[in-house]
Structure 1
Amino acid sequence: MSTIVEDRSGGAGTVLSEDEYRDRLVELPPSAKLVAKVLETDAPLSQGQLAEESLLPDRTVRYALNRLQEVDIVVSRHSFRDARKQVYQLRR
């Protein structure tokens, strides 16, 4: 399964290859890798849904999401069902 991720640092329209995606993940903690894997199969998900799916504590999921956003792998947006909540998905 190939994962294509936009790279904002390289300019508009730049796409990360599978190798670049893996290179960004390699230095991240295991919790961030697990959250990314869950988002590969089920997205978009809220922080609470990610905690349920990954069996990680909310605080750990929040940390993992912050790390994934720092390396531009995950993006967030407001939920269509509940505008008070953010949902997360892999950048495509």
Structure 2
Amino acid sequence: MSTTDTVVTEESATDRWSDVRDLPPSAKLVAKVLDYNDTLTQSELAEETLLPPRTVRYALSRLEDEGVVDARFSFTDARKRLYTLGV
């Protein structure tokens, strides 16, 4: 890998998180957990982040407003939504 490739990779990683940079710490944490895990429900996010469900719900709404997170309904349980990082 050349120096140019390294710089381009670092710049794309920086641009990837530019939408999240100004959000609250809880939203950043939720985004990072979704980065490590492919798809999670709100309750799974609360377990992984150790944040209260209400805080996770707020973080997800902020991330959805920024267009960083994609949400869809679960086919196994229509009451639940599955969240994926869309960055």
Q: TM-score range by the shorter chain?
A: 0.7 to 0.9
* Aligned counterparts of 2:65 and 2:34: Cα–Cα separation in 1: 16
Secondary structure of 1:76's aligned partner: strand
* Aligned counterparts of 2:18 and 2:37: Cα–Cα separation in 1: 22
* Aligned counterparts of 2:19 and 2:53: Cα–Cα separation in 1: 23
Structure 2 residue corresponding to 1:80, chosen from 75, 79, 85: 75
The one-letter amino acid paired with 2:78 is A
CA positional deviation for 1:35:
0.2
Larger radius of gyration: 2
Residue 46 in 1 paired to residue 41 in 2? yes
The one-letter amino acid paired with 1:91 is G
CA positional deviation for 1:66:
0.5
Identity %: 54
Which residue in the other structure is 1:55 paired with?
A: 50
Q: How many residues align?
A: 76
Q: Which structure has the highest helix share of the two?
A: 2
Structure 2 residue corresponding to 1:24, chosen from 19, 22, 39: 19
* Aligned counterparts of 1:71 and 1:20: Cα–Cα separation in 2: 14
Note the residue ranges of structure 1 that are not aligned, 5 or more in a row: 1-16
* Aligned counterparts of 1:41 and 1:65: Cα–Cα separation in 2: 16
* Aligned counterparts of 1:22 and 1:86: Cα–Cα separation in 2: 23
* Aligned counterparts of 2:53 and 2:18: Cα–Cα separation in 1: 26
Q: Give the alignment's Cα RMSD to 1 decimal.
A: 1.2
- 1:8-63: per-residue Cα shift (whole Å, max 9, x none)? xxxxxxxxx43322211110000000000110111211100000000000000000
Secondary structure of 2:17's aligned partner: helix
**TM score, norm. by length of structure 2:** 0.80
